[in-house]
A and B are shown apart, each in its own frame.
Chain A
Amino acid sequence: GQNIDQPTEMTATEGAIVQINCTYQTSGFNGLFWYQQHAGEAPTFLSYNVLDGLEEKGRFSSFLSRSKGYSYLLLKELQMKDSASYLCAVRRGSTLGRLYFGRGTQLTVWP
C-alpha cells in the first residue's frame, strides 16, 4: 500500500510564504504531483517532480527527495485566493499512471 502523510491544516497571512510538507512510503514510485482543490471543485494540477530537486512555477515551487520519501510545496506572496486544499499524490508505475493521494492540507490565508 501507500502511506502518504501531510498536515491537515495550515494558516498564513497574505504576502507570506508557506511550505506544505508531504512524506510518502510506496513501491514503484514514479513521480509526485501537487494539486490545488477549492471547496466544492475538482482538483487542478500545480506541479510535478520525478527527479530530486526543486521545480519552480511562478509563485509555486515543489521539491522532491526520493531517498527521504519527502516533498514540499512552497507558496510565495500568498493571496486570499490561495485558500484551498493542497493535495499530494504519488504515482506508481508509468503506463498505468495510477495516482494515490494524501488527505490534503487545508490552507487558510488571512488578510
Chain B
Amino acid sequence: SQTIHQWPATLVQPVGSPLSLECTVEGTSNPNLYWYRQAAGRGLQLLFYSVGIGQISSEVPQNLSASRPQDRQFILSSKKLLLSDSGFYLCACKDRADSGQPQHFGDGTRLSIL
C-alpha cells in the first residue's frame, strides 16, 4: 500500500521568506501526485498536479511553484511568502494505472505566515 511522507509537520515563516515543502511516496510506481491547500474555513483547493518527472500542471495562478525531480518526490516552493499563503498543505498520491483508485493524502504541513 502507498505511504506518503510530508515534512515538516508544522512551519512558521515570516512574510517574504522562501519556502520548500517536500513530499515523498512509497509503495507505488509511476504515481500521479497532487498538492492541495486548505485555508481556514475553506475546502481543499487543488494547486498542482503531476503525471511524471518534470511534468507539472498548475490549477490556479499563485505565488507558489512545484517540481518533481524524481518519480516519487514532489516539492512545493515559493521564493517570497505572502500572508495569504498560510494554510494546511496536503500532498496526495494516486496510482496512475488504476482509474478507480482514490487519492490518498499525506499528514500535511501546517504553514503559518507571520
The tally of residues in B whose CB lies under 8 Å from a CB in A reads 27
- Inter-chain contacts of A48 with B (CB < 8 A): 100, 102
Please measure, in the bound complex, the distance between the C-alpha atom of A25 and the C-alpha atom of B59, giving whole angstroms.
Answer: 18
Task: Closest A residue to B108 by CB, please name it.
Answer: A42
Query: Is B68 engaged at the interface, CB distance under 8 Å to the other chain?
Result: no
Query: Interface 1/0s, chain B 35-68, versus A by CB < 8 A?
Result: 0100001111110010100000101000000000
Q: Are B32 and A97 in contact (CB under 8 A)?
A: yes
Query: Interface 1/0s, chain B 80-114, versus A by CB < 8 A?
Result: 00000000001010101001101111111010000
- Which 8 A-B pairs give the minimum distances between C-beta atoms? A103-B43, A42-B105, A101-B44, A101-B43, A45-B102, A94-B99, A42-B108, A97-B94
Residues of A whose CB lies within 8 Å of any CB of B are: 4, 30-31, 33, 40-45, 48, 50, 87, 89, 94-104
- Inter-chain contacts of A50 with B (CB < 8 A): 100
- Inter-chain contacts of A98 with B (CB < 8 A): 34, 46, 49, 59
Q: Are A33 and B102 in contact (CB under 8 A)?
A: yes
* 22 pairs, A vs B, C-beta closer than 8 Å: A4-B43, A40-B110, A41-B107, A42-B90, A42-B107, A43-B44, A43-B90, A45-B104, A48-B102, A87-B44, A95-B99, A96-B57, A97-B94, A97-B99, A98-B34, A98-B46, A98-B59, A99-B34, A99-B44, A99-B103, A103-B43, A104-B43
